[in-house]
Structure 1
Amino acid sequence: MTYDASNIFAKIIRGELPAHKVYEDGQALVMMDIFPQSRGHVLVIPKAQSRNLLDADPAALSAVIPLVQKVAQAVKQVTGADGIRLAQFNEAPAGQTVFHLHFHIIPVYEGVPIGAHAGGRADDAELAALAGEIAAAL
């Protein structure tokens, strides 16, 4: 399968669609997931075009993984989560719904079940506030 540059994350990266941005540089965009599985769920999206991990340029992966770690640390600090789940899906049968490589950083809270992937939409004001707090922690 080939990369489709009309996917929603490519449009967000190009500035064609809005997002609750946490961080952005030449390599990646970090934004709040608008359908979070828990409070503080963020996405780290490499800007290099690839459908997923299977076709990604190893150099793009090398550039983004330290950012994934740094963002996970900031999310844990800001949210007070008890742990962090890192998820990354490859192709539709594995649960991928947007075909642009991205990493989910999902805070886990003791005794609180994680919501369904792509479940209910979050409140924009809460997402904006969390984006600011996580950005400040970076």
Structure 2
Amino acid sequence: MASSECAFCRVVAGELPSTVIAEEERAIAFMDVLPATEGHLLVVPRTHTRDLLSAEPADLAACVLLAQRMARLLRDRLGASGVNLVQSSGAAAWQTVFHLYLHVVPRYPGDPCRLPWIPSHGDPAKIAAAAARLTSDEPLT
């Protein structure tokens, strides 16, 4: 079900201008108007879905497969030598439009794009503790 307040639902419905790159039964890819690099695009499900956690499996699968197709297109047509696939669920994770979306960000040698996260070595004990909790047989609450 579409939401009249959702910008991405309005893009899908053709009510907001966009540069559509690909359309499939369950997903659509269009250019990001705030691109991190040349060719940065978004992939969204046609059905309004708030985020990753509430996505129907078929919609999520369609988005991931379309993102893969778009990554290949960015490589083949724009010469991208890599791709970041970024998905944010929730305001704390930088989600700004509350409709599931995947950023497909082509990467080029020397491009200026930097994600907010700066990798550094984690504490091995904390990593092991988190892994133990994730693989535990205890029931989820």
TM-score bracket, shorter-length normalisation: 0.7 to 0.9
The structure with more radius of gyration: 2
Q: SS at 2:99's partner residue?
A: coil
Whether contact under 8 Å (2:87, 2:103) holds in the other structure is yes
Deviations 1:70-115 (A, max 9, x none): 1110012111112111001101110011110011110111112216
TM-score by length of 2: 0.75
**Deviation beyond 2 Å, 4+ runs, structure 1:** none
Paired residues in the alignment total: 115
Match of 2:17? 18
**2: CA distance, partners of 1:19 / 1:57:** 25
TM-score by length of 1: 0.76
Match of 1:120? none
Whether contact under 8 Å (1:33, 1:43) holds in the other structure is yes
Is 1:61 the counterpart of 2:41? The answer is no
Distance 1:4 1:93, change over 3 A: farther
Percent identical residues: 38
Whether contact under 8 Å (1:4, 1:99) holds in the other structure is no
Match of 1:109? 108
Counterpart of 1:35, as a letter, is: L
Match of 1:33? 32
Match of 2:85? 86
**1: CA distance, partners of 2:75 / 2:114:** 18
Q: Unpaired segments of 5 or more residues in structure 2?
A: 117-141
Q: SS at 2:50's partner residue?
A: coil
Query: Which gives a bigger RCO, structure 1 or 2 (Cα 8 Å, sep 6+)?
Result: 1
Deviations 1:26-84 (A, max 9, x none): 21111000100000001111112211101101121122222111111001211111211
Is 1:77 the counterpart of 2:112? The answer is no
Counterpart of 2:63, as a letter, is: V
